[in-house]
Chain A
Amino acid sequence: MPDGGSCWGPEPGADAAVRAAWDALARVNDPEIPVLTVVDLGMIRRVGRDADGRLRVTITPTYSGCPATGVITFEIRRALDEAGLTDAVLDSAVFPPWTTDWISQSGLEKLRAYGIAPPPRGAGKRALTAPDEVPACPRCGSGDTRVISVFGSTACKALHRCNACLEPFDSFKCI
């Protein structure tokens, strides 16, 4: 669990309902980046039991203005319901704020394979002081790339061009 923030699966010894919830969550994709699930993104902060035994799933929003957040919440609810977890409580926590450092290792690989340069590890923290890190081209691997716009096709992406293969590409914006 990095920074006490997010996690990517049940803890050892978790009960059957908690495991079922994780399985259901792992089937919910980001509508904007369908290769990633909400678990890959690190949006799931906790799946656990309240003191009274109720199952509670806590999610964290990614970018403040992301228009997909409503759809994602709806899809998570539906996935839990379809898994028979209709009494599970779904809530949201803003703090600690989500960071790109919470994207899972397999999520980073999926992004690269999809053509989106993944955020370097630790870049979320560094973005506060040194925002300029040049991503390698996800297509040809060249490090010779330039920024076209720090605001890309969605709230989470910036737009780049590779100087080697000349292809434009998106990168995941570090926060």
Chain B
Amino acid sequence: MTDDTLRSALVDYALRLGDTSLVLGHRLSEWCGHAPELEEDLALANMALDLVGHARMWLAFAGETEGKGRDEDRLAYHRDGFDYRNHLLVEQPNRDFGHTIARQFLHDAWSVGLYERLASSANPEVAGIAAKAVKEVRYHLRHSGEWVVRLGDGTEKSRAIMADAFDRLSRYTDEMFEADGVERTLTAAGIAPDPEELRAGWEARVDAVLAEATLSRPAIHGRQTGGRSGRHTEHLGHLLAEMQFLQRAYPGATW
């Protein structure tokens, strides 16, 4: 393996993690001022801030590793949808609070397992970012898991919404465990875990909470993947149009 292969894999991997955090953080920020209660408004905004913070660390690291002078803002605001590498799951629209929580929970159950492993990565910068992030995503998982239980084991209506949400979103979850040349290169170098190794832990975390919520993990119909290589659902473009508007209209603007 050449240094260039490793460097390029590291850049792609950091973009995937950074974009996934950024897109989910932006989705959560759409709730600001609209959540069902004040405490939840604060919680969603706080989680959004954490995720945007993680995105900044990953994108800054990607830019430095790439060495072509692109900083975190350049990467966040000046790439089009086909250059974004986030999971399809996190770009799915908020719909209602139940769908937002289901999406968050499926993601959190994955990110906790991933960051726990990355914290012992052979790359010290990757390990450093992960060791920082894991403390925060544990709070997210606890929070989203509590809401899954509250709503799943709630009223007839809230239970139906959660069942529908998991049914809709499950088709996007396989993507979290996919590996291509990027992951295989980094796994061989001891920098990242084989994504498939994260599946059992994710299923255990998800199933334990769903059981308490009187729900079960639905069978996957019409499995969808492709975000990690830039093939997205129609929702990402709309999100980027809003998120990137200012820097597209006034490139380099600061205040």
Contact = CB atoms under 8 A, between A and B. Distances in A.
Given A63-B136, A94-B128, A131-B142, A148 B49 contact: no
B54 interface: yes
A159 B38 CA distance: 12
Contact of B132 (A67, A94, A152, A173): A94
B53 A64 contact: yes
B52 A151 contact: no
A149 to B, nearest CB: 4
B53 A173 contact: no
A67 B127 contact: no
Contact of A151 (B125, B134, B143): B143
A38 B124 CA distance: 26
A150 B49 CA distance: 14
Contact of A64 (B42, B43, B57, B125): B57
A150 B131 contact: no
A141 interface: no
Nearest to B119: A97
Nearest to B129: A94
Interface bracket on A: 20 to 34
B46 interface: yes
Interface residues of B, number: 31
| A64, A131, A149, A150, most chain B CB atoms within 10 A | A64
A131 B135 CA distance: 10
Interface in A63-110: 63-67, 94-99
A95 B128 contact: yes
A127 interface: yes
Contacts of A99: 135
A98 B131 CA distance: 10
A51 interface: no
Nearest to B132: A97
Contacts of B39: 148-149, 151, 159
B139 A131 contact: yes
B138 interface: yes
Contacts of B127: 95
A66 B42 contact: no
Contacts of B167: none
Contacts of A150: 43, 139, 142-143
A151 B43 contact: yes
B66 to A, nearest CB: 19
Nearest to A132: B142
Nearest to A154: B46
A16 interface: no
Interface of B: 39-40, 42-43, 45-54, 56-57, 124-125, 127-129, 131-136, 138-139, 142-143
Closest 3 A-B residue pairs measured CB to CB? A65-B49, A64-B53, A95-B128
26 contacts: A63-B53, A63-B136, A64-B50, A64-B133, A64-B136, A65-B49, A65-B51, A65-B54, A65-B136, A95-B128, A98-B132, A128-B134, A131-B138, A149-B39, A149-B42, A150-B43, A150-B139, A150-B142, A151-B46, A151-B139, A152-B42, A152-B46, A153-B42, A155-B50, A159-B42, A175-B136
